[in-house]
Amino acid sequence: MTEGRLVLALDTSTTVNVGLARGAEVLARGTVSDPMAHVEQLTPLIERCLAEAGVTPRDLSVVVVGLGPGPFTGLRVGIVTARILASALRLELRGVCSLDVIALQYVDTRPATEFLVVTNARRREFYWARYSAAGHRTFGPVVGAPDDLPRLPAIGPAADLYADRLVTAPGPRELDAGVLATRGLTLPDAGHEPLYLRRPDAMEPGRRKSVLHHHDRHDPLGTPR
């Protein structure tokens, strides 16, 4: 039951999104569209939403966080922040697939068929999942090229990115943090681990191999040692 419980919702899978709700009532929501500002803007946005609603962190009951899929750095910021808040304040923590939230927004418009939710995975690829007309995820999330996607109506932040290669449909193009706050607890529990779907671009370097051969009695120029 969510009635009467104060829910803080966070999602940084695309933009920075914060929502605050009590039951079905959205008390505050905010978005920062700069994809490079996750670290700097998330905490101030949370503070702004709490102040707008006239509540404090101690009033919270639940933290709901979008687990992606999304880029490594931005996604990690939201999930780590949610974990810290939940641990420090002893709150329930619920993780959901971010694409499920956008699908839920679309279902409210009564789609007549199956559909896809797509977000930008860069490298000319999408993060995507397939949904029934009722909004139940039937496949994914996965990452893939535009030509690999089923020919179904596509919505979401990347639906217009390759419009000539998708069956784009009118519908939500951004995640609504208010929906995440009011209805996130009704979505399938996705655990607490981020849905990266691919390894980060920045990897820890492996151990460097020695260029010297211990069995060789000569240096690289052939000079005896």
Domains defined for the chain, CATH in brackets: 6-98+175-186 (3.30.420.40), 100-168 (no CATH)
The pLDDT confidence band at residue 201, using thresholds 50, 70 and 90, is very low
What average pLDDT does range 38-43 have in this prediction?
Answer: 84
Quickly tell me which residue has 């609603």 as its tokens.
53
Q: How far apart are CA 221 and CA 155, in angstroms?
A: 63
Does position 203 have pLDDT exceeding 60, yes or no?
no
pLDDT in tens, 80-125: 999 999 999 999 999 999 999 999 999 988 888 999 999 999 989 9
Question: What residues pair up with 64 in beta bridges, in sequence order?
Answer: 9, 94
Per-residue confidence (pLDDT) for residue 3, from 0 to 100: 65
Does position 216 have pLDDT exceeding 60, yes or no?
no
Does position 169 have pLDDT exceeding 60, yes or no?
yes
- Top pLDDT among 133 and 217 is at 133
Q: How far apart are CA 12 and CA 29, in angstroms?
A: 14
Model-level pTM? 0.85
